[in-house]
Amino acid sequence: MKEENVIYADSTLFDIFSFPLIAGDPKTALVDPTSVVITESTARKYFGKTEVLGETLNFDNRTDYKITGVMKDIPRNSHIRFDFFLAMTGLEESRELTWVSNNFNTYVLAEKGTDIKNLGVQLQALVDRNVDVQLQQIMQRTLEDLKNSGDFLRYTLMPMTDIHLHSNRTAELSPNSSVQYVYMFSGIAFFVLLIACINFMNLATARSAGRAREVGIRKVMGSLKSSLIGQFLTESLLMTILAFGLALLGAWLFLPWFNQLADKQISFSSFMNFSFLPVLLLFVIITGLLAGSYPAFFLSSFQPIKVLKGTTGSSAKSGWLRSSLVVFQFITSVLLIIGTIVIYRQLNYIQNKQLGFNKEQVLILQDAYALGDQIGAFKQDVLRESGVVNGTVSGFLPVPSNRSDTPYFPTPTIDPEKAVSSQIWRVDEDYVPTMGMEIIAGRNFSRDFPSDSTAVIMNEAAAKLFNFDNPIGAKIYTLRDFNDTEVLSYDVVGVVKDFNFESLRENISPLLLFIGRSTGSISFRINTNDVPGLISRIESKWRAMGPGQPFNYEFMDEAFDQMYRAEQRVGNIFISFAILAIFIACLGLFGLSAFMAEQRTKEIGIRKVLGASIGNIVTMLSKDFLKLVLIAAVIAFPIAWWGMSKWLEDFAYRTSISWWIFALAGAVAVVIALATVSFQAMRAAATNPVESLRSE
């Protein structure tokens, strides 16, 4: 069975982390080189029980590991999400004393009260001392020489609680998120809530004429202004509490959908715990008071004489505050519309950018090393299948896969100032054509050239940094290993066109291709209408040559998309927020248009008596709101341009923010506003003028 969540850990794992063992001794569980600690769910998966100490698990048909501990399942919100912890002492690489290499994640448990800044200084001093010794052994250079040339090797400490949202370092144990998204969506949620409060104010004031006589009579009967304010605030609070209950029901109903959309596992119980519930209740109270404050003071300020005569003393022209609130609503809506368009344009750009390789119709078979010596025969056998165009054996792929960096030099003298740190990929002769890459100078590897065992193909980025006049025929050099001064040389036989093998957030870095054995996966370029049938035949060959070995495959375009799942989730959440905010803004506009229509009832009646058509009335009422939307768009455009430009800066390769995006967003806002207002306008225009003028 294929298991992904496997990691090596040293014997101090349980001294550093609070992973509780339900069986086994935490002091000795990972001491033996062939020991393994598993989670309780893994124990049940393989043995149907958790009492499994002393049982054996075989990994890769190579090594038997003895179960020496069973731990409770790790919470999903931890960045250490593994089910198998193999003893680090069984990994040969872990015993190498190489200070100029950093292939392991290291965690340090500091005592309470430790000065972390000072601890970081001590750590750097420790690294500097040991790196200096190895640099002198390998390159006959001191660390000071390296620093003087502008290079450095720096280690810093990061609190474990900051890793998920604040770490931009590569090779974290789990994919990182970004605190920017937390700020962004928290801000959007705040503005959506604020828009809802604004709507309540507008709807309450729109109903003001209906309650004007009530206020007048209560004041005549002796009610104080403070009593009226208290009444209206109480009504607002009661309505907010009712909305809170409905919101909890909605959260319970939609939480599974949101978890699927955001790839989270949030439980409804997290909203109801004693630490979070008071915060929610506080929000309810603040929202209720905020939403009810303006209507309370507005309604309680009516003068009894005027309202009992049928007037409130307010007019549409004095409603600048309500108009400002509508402008604010549509500023938020336009910002969200533009943000959604830009995010989806960037995702589309990623999907359609010329990457320098062809990711379509490439079938990747994982864990090819399980076939052992049969891997070459398997590849040739599959190539004979109809529909298979080409195939290559390599674990190094231009999608999430193996990575390895090593410094290479343009001269036999190991000079750090001339070092080019490059990706080192071991491939076979069929790699370049299978991946659809382009050789722009020289040639590809060939079985007709036995000397290709010491040949190298570099990408354009590497060729520029080595600064060769003509890279073809040139030599590059490297050390055999960091503990040896022997220098190895390689002949440049080709230059491959740059291709994006990392996220488009990163610039293309130097890459060197060597002939070598890397059996992490086998990739086949296929061209057939019967993909399921072809996969079935390939699986049969796999099981015949590797009995008992799991058959796992994926397509390269799907693997490529995985690098941008976070952006895709952000885009989906963003558009959901945009739709919600626009809908709520429309409710506010609906309320304000009702208020305006109510205030101008007699004017509309007189205009109709004088011959105005329904179209004239609708135009008259709509143009005021159209002005508000256009003002909102003018304010929102520069803010949106700045915000999305900052977001796009995270991508080395990005789309442009075209003028038509702003035009489209403005047009959408105008259409939404007109559609909302027109309903109330047509309703007011269709009213019989006799009814509105009979009291005059």
In tens, the pLDDT along 61-114 reads 778 899 999 999 988 778 888 999 999 988 877 777 777 777 788 898 888 888
Residue 310 has pLDDT above 60, yes or no: no
Look up tokens 């680090």; give the residue: 88
pLDDT value, residue 147: 72
pLDDT surpasses 50 at 316: no
Answer whether residue 229 shows pLDDT above 80: no
The whole-number average pLDDT for the span 575-581 is: 79
Tell me which long-range contacts 180-186 makes (C-beta under 8 A, separation of at least 24): 180/647, 181/570, 185/573, 185/577
Greater confidence (367 vs 134) lies with 367
Q: Give residues with Cβ within 8 angstroms of 348, minimum separation 6.
A: 655
pLDDT-derived band of residue 570, with 50, 70 and 90 as boundaries? Answer: confident
Rounded-to-integer distance, Cα 204 and Cα 189, Å: 23
Model confidence at 694: pLDDT above 60: no
Q: Is residue 338 classed exposed, middle or buried when 0-12, 13-18 and 19+ CB atoms within 10 A define those classes?
A: buried
Give the pLDDT band of residue 413 (cuts 50, 70, 90): confident
- The whole-number pLDDT of residue 205 equals 66
Task: Indicate if the alpha-carbon torsion angle 681, 685, 686, 688 is positive or negative.
Answer: positive
Q: Is 391 in a helix, a strand, or coil?
A: strand
Q: Is 384 helix (H, G, I), strand (E, B) or coil?
A: coil
Query: Per residue in 519-544, pLDDT tens?
Result: 889 999 999 999 999 999 999 999 99
Look at the alpha carbons of 174, 180, 181, 185 in this order and tell me if their dihedral is positive or negative. Answer: positive
Confidence at residue 266, expressed as pLDDT on a 0 to 100 scale: 76
Q: Which residues of 637-659 are buried (b: 16+ CB within 10 A; e: fewer)?
A: beebeeebeebbeebebbbebee
Q: Enter the tokens of residue 522.
A: 């086998």
Q: Which residue has the higher pLDDT, 122 or 1?
A: 122
Distance CA 644, CA 655 (A): 11
pLDDT of residue 214: 67
Q: What is the token pair recorded at 611? A: 């011959």
Of the pLDDT bands very low, low, confident and very high (cuts 50, 70, 90), residue 51 is: very high
pLDDT above 90 for 239: no
Return the pLDDT at 369.
85
pLDDT at 315: 47
- 201: confidence class by pLDDT, cuts 50, 70, 90: confident
- Where does the pLDDT of residue 340 fall: very low under 50, low under 70, confident under 90, or very high at 90 and above? confident
Give the model's confidence band at 317: pLDDT under 50 very low, under 70 low, under 90 confident, else very high.
very low
CA distances from 178 to 160, 184, 215, 452 (A): 15, 10, 52, 44
Work out the percent of the chain whose per-residue pLDDT is above 90.
27
Other residues' Cβ atoms within 10 Å of the Cβ of residue 673: 25
Task: State how far the Cα of 661 lies from the Cα of 641, in Å rounded to an integer.
Answer: 10
Cβ atoms of 602 and 693 within 8 Å: the answer is yes
Above 50 in pLDDT, residue 202? yes
Q: Which residue has the higher pLDDT, 370 or 385?
A: 385
pLDDT above 70: percentage of residues in the chain:
87
